[in-house]
Amino acid sequence: MMNAVPISWFLTLSAILFALGVAGFLFRRNIITVFMSIELMLNAVNLSFVTFSYQHKEVSGHLFTFFVMVVAAAEAAVGLAIILTVFKGRSTLNIDDVNSMKN
C-alpha cells in the first residue's frame, strides 16, 4: 500500500494548483504576478496531462504537455513585451490603473 500513489491524488494536486492560480489571477493587482498565476495554471494542467498519460500508458499526453510548454514560452515572450510597452507608456504595473478601454 505504501508503495504506490493513487492516481486521484495527482489529479487533486493539479486541481489545488489550478485553483491557487485562479485565485492569484483574480486577486492580485500587479500585472507581472497576474501573468505568473497564468503560468501556474498551465503547470497544473500539464500535471493532469502527464497523469492521464500514465493512466492510459500512452505517450500522447507528454506531447500535449510539450506543446503547452511551447505555447507558454511564446506567450511569455509576447506578454512580457506587452508589459514593457504598457509600463513605458503609463509608468505603472497596477492593472487597476490600465483602464483606457473601460469607458
Partner 1 sequence: MDVILFLIFALIAVACAINVVVQTHPISSALSLVGVMGSLAVLYLLLGAEFIAAAQVIVYAGAIMVLFVFVIMLLNAGAETRKGRSYLIPGAPLLIVFLGLMAFVVQRIFPDSTMVRFGGFTGGGPKDVGTALFTTYLLPFEVTSILILVAIIGAIVLARKEIDQ
What is the contact surface with partner 1 in residues (CB under 8 A)?
2-13, 15-17, 19-24, 26-30, 32-33, 35-37, 39-40, 43, 46-47, 50-51, 53-55, 57-60, 62-63, 65-67, 69-78, 80-85, 87, 93-94
Shortest Cβ 99–partner 1 spacing (Å):
15
Q: 99 by DSSP, 3-state: which?
A: coil
- CA 71, CA 81: separation in Å to the nearest integer? 15
Between residues 59 and 102, which has the closer beta carbon with respect to partner 1? 59
Calculate the CA 21 to chain-centre distance.
Answer: 7
